[in-house]
Amino acid sequence: MTSTTESEHHADRRVQLVDRVVIRFAGDSGDGIQVTGDQFTTESAIFGNDLSTLPNFPAEIRAPAGTLAGVSAFQVHISDHDILTPGDAPNVLVAMNPAALRANVGDLPVGGTAVVNSDAFDERALEKAGYGSNPLTDGSLKGFRVYEVPMTSLTLEACKPSGAKARDAERSKNFFALGLVAWLYQRPTAVTENWIAKRYGKNPVVVEANTLAFRAGYHFGETAELFESVYEVPAAQHEPGTYTNITGNTAVAWGLLAAAELGKVPLFLGSYPITPASDILHELSKHKNFGVRTLQAEDEIAGVGAALGAAFGGALGVTTTSGPGVDLKAETIGLAVSLELPLLIVDIQRGGPSTGLPTKTEQADLLHAMFGRHGEAPVPIVAAKTPSHCFDAAIEAVRIALKYRTPVFLLSDGYLANGSEPWKVPSVSDLPDISTTFAPAADGEQPFLPYARDPETLARPWALPGTPGLEHRIGGLEKADRTGEVSYDPVNHEKMVHLRAARIAGIAKDIPAVEVDDPSGEARVLLLGWGSTYGAIAAATRRVRADGRRVAHVHLVHLNPFPANLGEVVRRYDRVIVPEGNLGQLTRLVRADFLVDARALTKVQGTPFTVTEIEQAVSDALAELDEPAGQAEEESR
């Protein structure tokens, strides 16, 4: 049964050293692919590789088994050096059934490796996947190195001693695949065996079956003489410290817990479940011993409303959501702008419009966050750039909210939310103090002025109910400067509009200038990015430079206001390219603010940019800039 398409001879097994590899596990959404990917990731993290992951699952919980719609995948990039993306394309594809093969083989480069569960390639399954003939025999996989492994039958055989029923034992085949790949890449096995024991501890038969399947996969690699070599991806050089592998959503949740502690305010989360943001609600709900109050509200409006009510009472009010939820929250965010109270809105962006692509990533809510309210209602925006950076970005967003008494948007997206990377765990004592002050009690002799402002920040006092002498009323009607009383005076309104704008614009003085990554200082092309494009842009930048060419990279974390030096920086370059997962939203802002000819490099396919796509755009720009002046001028018309 077992054979390779390339060669039949059994060479002595060699250990091949590789500096990096991208592996994609793919199967039915009921096959446990995400668990398999997660475990391989953990093994690799503990082994010491640098890594980056990209889960990809369908919106349906269980689409019909065996169909293309039901294919779930998990890509992990491991390396012996620091890497920035989950990889443009897999080197190895593990396909548990024909649909998984068909949905993913297009991404496999010529010469790539496919490990397939040959048991799953029966006629029915082939038909469901839309194959007219069996790709394992019809020659269509020529050009790939294909390993056919009867994973289902080997798993059933291996699981016999566990006493698991065949139906249940079959479900362990993902652990067989994991074992096989663990062997192929010489991963430590104890990590997974311990995890299985812990995760399924309540059900000894399942522990036994999964462990047996995992070991069987590992031993199969060793004994079957199917594979000519094993691969070793040596550990990467990391700075000394304690590391953990973290997803963007966990990092947001932990960042919020940290921010509440650093801000010395109780954390209140009002949220309504929505993909891909729900995991933040789940994570925070686990940590009630930190004193965090979580409310699963009746809808998104109530979620943000409750957060704002809690903020009035002195809490760090947070709401977490995705695009459709942001739509619903708009009016309440506008109220928060008027009330000038701290509030954090976390938007884990997904493909839109409407329900769009719930499980796929996109960056198309930037202008929504920027302008998605009636009236002049400026809101600061902070965007995370990598999964672990979500932790710092959350703290930074909260810092701004507390200090400037304003709602703040924190933007992440599906790619960061579910993707993961190793993160050097910070020492809590190194985290910034972001605490704020509340207005002190008064004797009530002088009228309290709820809209008197700090001359430096233009922030108003945070006067909490319960404080004697500060009784006051706030609301969405326009307020008189200083007194906060209802005012319909046109001149006062104009003044308040300007004051609110100036308060947010002034934050530019309080955020770091952009750092320009341009080692030679002589690049003519600038890649300007924001959010999750960071990894692909930084990796493309390296490739261009490795080629002896020059390119600069600036990555924005603060999108409103922009860092003070951004205009000066973008004007220095002959060409500004803005890669973004939308149709050019940051590009518009930059063009409008700085009158530069920034050009968008857009992608809205529900997947992150590949490094190649960005590298290509730089190459094209460099080529264009080298063209004779006359032609370039003509083009710039």
Partner 1 sequence: MTEVAVPVTTRKDWASDQDVRWCPGCGDYSILAAVQFLLPELGVRRESTVFVSGIGCAARFPYYMNTYGMHSIHGRAPAIATGLAISRPDLDVWVISGDGDALSIGGNHLIHALRRNVNLTILLFNNQIYGLTKGQYSPTSEVGKVTKSTPFGSLDTPFNPVSLALGAEASFVARTHDMDRKHMQEMFRRAHDHRGAALVEVYQNCNVFNDGAFEAVTGRASREEMVIPLEHGQPIRFGADGHRGLIMNDRGQLEIAEVADVGEDAILVHDETREDPGLAFALSRIATGPHQPTPMGVFRAVERPDYGSLVDSQLLEAQARKGAGDLQSLLRSGTSWTVG
Decide if 576 contacts 597 (C-beta within 8 A): yes
Q: Report how far apart, in Å, the C-alpha atoms of 31 and of each of 34, 70, 178, 313, 633 are.
A: 9, 10, 12, 47, 56
* Residue 317 near partner 1 by CB under 8 A: yes
Figure out which of the listed residues 11, 17, 166, 486 binds partner 1, where binding follows CB under 8 A: 486
Task: Give the integer Cα–Cα distance in Å for 588 and 581.
Answer: 14
* Residue 427 near partner 1 by CB under 8 A: yes
Select from 275, 396, 268 the least CA-distant residue to 324.
275
Select from 601, 35, 76, 618 the least CA-distant residue to 387.
76
Task: Give the integer Cα–Cα distance in Å for 362 and 369.
Answer: 14
Q: Determine the length of the chain.
A: 637
Figure out which of the listed residues 157, 299, 489, 515 binds partner 1, where binding follows CB under 8 A: 299
Figure out which of the listed residues 46, 89, 205, 497 binds partner 1, where binding follows CB under 8 A: 46
Select from 515, 469, 522, 477 the least CA-distant residue to 496.
477
Token pair for residue 277? 């943001």
Choices 169-177, 245-253, 502-510, 562-570; region in contact with partner 1 by CB under 8 A: 245-253
Figure out which of the listed residues 29, 34, 36, 42 binds partner 1, where binding follows CB under 8 A: 42
Task: Give the integer Cα–Cα distance in Å for 576 and 537.
Answer: 13
Q: 């890509």: which residue's tokens? A: 75
Under 8 Å CB-to-CB from 473, ≥6 apart: which residues?
484
Minimum CB separation from partner 1 for residue 574, in Å?
Answer: 42
* Residue 622 near partner 1 by CB under 8 A: no
Q: List binders of partner 1 among 100-159 (CB under 8 A).
A: none
Minimum CB separation from partner 1 for residue 444, in Å?
Answer: 9
Figure out which of the listed residues 452, 474, 505, 564 binds partner 1, where binding follows CB under 8 A: 474
Minimum CB separation from partner 1 for residue 291, in Å?
Answer: 6
* Residue 426 near partner 1 by CB under 8 A: yes
Q: List binders of partner 1 among 55-84 (CB under 8 A).
A: none
Figure out which of the listed residues 164, 295, 459, 586 binds partner 1, where binding follows CB under 8 A: 295
* Residue 466 near partner 1 by CB under 8 A: yes
* Residue 245 near partner 1 by CB under 8 A: yes
Choices 78-86, 234-242, 382-390, 571-579; region in contact with partner 1 by CB under 8 A: 234-242
* Residue 435 near partner 1 by CB under 8 A: no
Figure out which of the listed residues 28, 148, 208, 261 binds partner 1, where binding follows CB under 8 A: 261
* Residue 465 near partner 1 by CB under 8 A: yes
Task: Give the integer Cα–Cα distance in Å for 48 and 233.
Answer: 10
* Residue 257 near partner 1 by CB under 8 A: yes
Choices 60-68, 82-90, 459-467, 596-604; region in contact with partner 1 by CB under 8 A: 459-467
* Residue 282 near partner 1 by CB under 8 A: no
* Residue 470 near partner 1 by CB under 8 A: yes
Under 8 Å CB-to-CB from 359, ≥6 apart: which residues?
56, 57, 58, 59, 275, 276, 350, 414
Select from 385, 383, 387, 386 the least CA-distant residue to 397.
383
Task: Give the integer Cα–Cα distance in Å for 199 and 178.
Answer: 16
Task: Give the integer Cα–Cα distance in Å for 115 and 94.
Answer: 5
Through-space distance between the first and last CA atoms of the chain, rounded to whole angstroms: 64
* Residue 200 near partner 1 by CB under 8 A: no
Binding region for partner 1 (CB under 8 A): 42, 45-46, 48, 191, 238-246, 250, 254, 257-258, 261, 266, 268, 270, 287-291, 293, 295, 297-299, 301-302, 305-315, 317, 331-332, 335, 339, 425-428, 465-477, 485-486
